[in-house]
Amino acid sequence: MAGASTKSLDLAKPFAKPDTQRAAWRVWLDQRVDAWMTSPGFYRWAIGNPLTRWVTRRRAAQLFDIMAGFVHSQVLLACVRLQLFEQLRVQPMPLDELAKACQMSAPAMQRLLHSAVSLRLLESRGPQMYGLGPLGAPVAADPGLRLMIEHNAVLFDDMRDPLALLRDQVQPHMQAYWPYMEGDSTQGWEAAQVARYSELMATSQRFVVEEMLATYDFNGHQRVLDVGGGQGGWVGALAQHAPHLQLMLFDLPPVAALAQARMQQLGVDKRVSTHGGSFISDPLPPGADLVTLVRVAHDHPDAVVKALLAKICQALPRGGRLLLAEPMAQSPGEPPMVGDPYFHFYLLAMGSGRLRTADELRGFMLEAGFEAVDQLSNPMPLHTRMLLGRKS
């Protein structure tokens, strides 16, 4: 039975440009290389040859990592659920004590600990003593990261049968998590559901906020509007970072109400106004000379994103800017982006939107009326990449 999940999926632009047909000699060469690399003697030859051995070893390790990826993420999930990172942050602990605290046998606990050590999540600190590893430290430090790791269990559950998900034969649980995938009417939404997704967004937004503050100079602006601003993690941080700014947040009414309370808690509610509405069917609040759109476009189909960008462009004065920040896909010719498969499948399970390349988004922004669109260079493109559009 087909679910309602993939109804609004759009096709991405192809990797190769339409006018770049592969030359006949190249097709011939590709076929020869494919045949050679999959021939029975190839592996033995490649591993026996000192010049090619290191490439073969590296590729074997990479393939093994892909194959074992699910096990790795389950080791991480187990450590998060057992609160190992929080406990070991305080002090290293011995195996027996950890096993007792986690209510499992010492041999079982040891397997988890050794797996986590080999993934550098934990570290051996003496015989049967364990402490935080270099990759466990950020997880120990960030509750948002732990919430995200726990939340990924919903996605992995939906991906248990990847073909059923791809063929639209299951109703993914991810869709129930994000009620706005069903449309922009908030009637019948449960407060707990809105609070749950808004909280997840707020806690996972910290890294994106760091990227934006580190990359763009907000001094030249007076009034900023954040569209789809969630609970206001970004506008709250920006209000504290740039005390001269007036700010507005626009989101669906129940979310905007949560943001209002959050702004009061932060003590910035005099400078941040919150506006409830849908960017699909309502006008945007006027008066901003900078609009920010953070992790919003990737949730929506092309038609909705194009209409939203046009609405933003109309709402801006001449010289106004749009700063769009979200994870973006590998563009043709770019090195592979490690996060791409995750976001492709996350959005597939959500049932709407897609991970777009910076080129595609730039094209959408130009089509919407922006005169020039530049990609900004930010320290950690894995979390987000940024485009700045200027209205003439």
Ligand X SMILES: C[S@@+](CC[C@H](N)C(=O)[O-])C[C@H]1O[C@@H](n2cnc3c(N)ncnc32)[C@H](O)[C@@H]1O
- Answer left, alpha or beta for residue 251, where phi above 0 means left and psi between -120 and 50 means alpha: beta
Q: Is 168 in the site for ligand X (CB under 6 A)?
A: no
CB of 255 to ligand X, least distance (A): 4
CB of 205 to ligand X, least distance (A): 4
Handedness of CA 101, 103, 104, 106 (dihedral sign): positive
User: In the range 287-316, which residues lie near ligand X by CB under 6 A?
Assistant: 294-296, 299
CA distance 309 to 319: 16
Please identify, using beta-carbon distances, which residue of 230 and 351 lies nearer to ligand X: 230
Residues 216-255: x/- map of binding to ligand X (CB under 6 A)? ------------xxx--x-----------------xx--x
How remote is the C-alpha of 383 from its chain's centroid? 6
Q: Rg of the chain's alpha carbons, rounded to an integer?
A: 24
CB of 284 to ligand X, least distance (A): 9
Considering only residues 205, 273, 274, 352, which one is a binding residue for ligand X as defined by CB under 6 A?
205
CB of 85 to ligand X, least distance (A): 23
β-sheet with 129-132: strand ranges across: 93-94, 129-132, 122-124
Q: With CA atoms as reference, report the closest residue to 109 among 99, 119, 101.
A: 99
Considering only residues 116, 165, 201, 368, which one is a binding residue for ligand X as defined by CB under 6 A?
201
Question: Near ligand X by CB under 6 A, which window of 4-12, 123-131, 136-144, 277-285?
Answer: 277-285
Please identify, using beta-carbon distances, which residue of 132 and 304 lies nearer to ligand X: 304
Token pair 């206001």: residue: 232
CA distance 132 to 110: 15
CB of 183 to ligand X, least distance (A): 8
CB of 7 to ligand X, least distance (A): 16
CB of 153 to ligand X, least distance (A): 18
Q: Both ends of the chain: CA-CA distance in Å?
A: 50
Q: Is 362 in the site for ligand X (CB under 6 A)?
A: no
Please identify, using beta-carbon distances, which residue of 184 and 210 lies nearer to ligand X: 184
CA distance 337 to 328: 9
Q: Is 357 in the site for ligand X (CB under 6 A)?
A: no
CA distance 329 to 331: 6
What contacts 292, CB < 8 A, 6 or more positions away? 212, 224, 225, 226, 227, 229, 234, 322, 323, 324, 325
Please identify, using beta-carbon distances, which residue of 298 and 391 lies nearer to ligand X: 298
List beta partners, residue 376: 386
Closest residue to ligand X: CB criterion: 228
Please identify, using beta-carbon distances, which residue of 110 and 278 lies nearer to ligand X: 278
List beta partners, residue 294: 325
Q: Is 279 in the site for ligand X (CB under 6 A)?
A: yes
Please identify, using beta-carbon distances, which residue of 79 and 325 lies nearer to ligand X: 325
Please identify, using beta-carbon distances, which residue of 174 and 294 lies nearer to ligand X: 294
Q: Is 280 in the site for ligand X (CB under 6 A)?
A: yes
CB of 118 to ligand X, least distance (A): 33
Question: Near ligand X by CB under 6 A, which window of 3-11, 93-101, 103-111, 274-282?
Answer: 274-282
Secondary structure class of 185 (helix, strand, coil): coil
Distances (CA, A) of 244 to 222, 239, 247, 392: 7, 8, 10, 25
Burial-class residue 1 by CB neighbours within 10 Å (0-12, 13-18, 19+).
Answer: exposed
- Answer left, alpha or beta for residue 228, where phi above 0 means left and psi between -120 and 50 means alpha: left
- Answer left, alpha or beta for residue 286, where phi above 0 means left and psi between -120 and 50 means alpha: beta
CB of 236 to ligand X, least distance (A): 11
By CB under 6 A, how many residues form the interface with ligand X? 19
Please identify, using beta-carbon distances, which residue of 201 and 387 lies nearer to ligand X: 201
CB of 9 to ligand X, least distance (A): 17
Please identify, using beta-carbon distances, which residue of 95 and 307 lies nearer to ligand X: 307
Please identify, using beta-carbon distances, which residue of 180 and 343 lies nearer to ligand X: 180
Interface with ligand X (CB under 6 A) = 180, 184, 201, 205, 208, 228-230, 233, 251-252, 255, 278-280, 294-296, 299
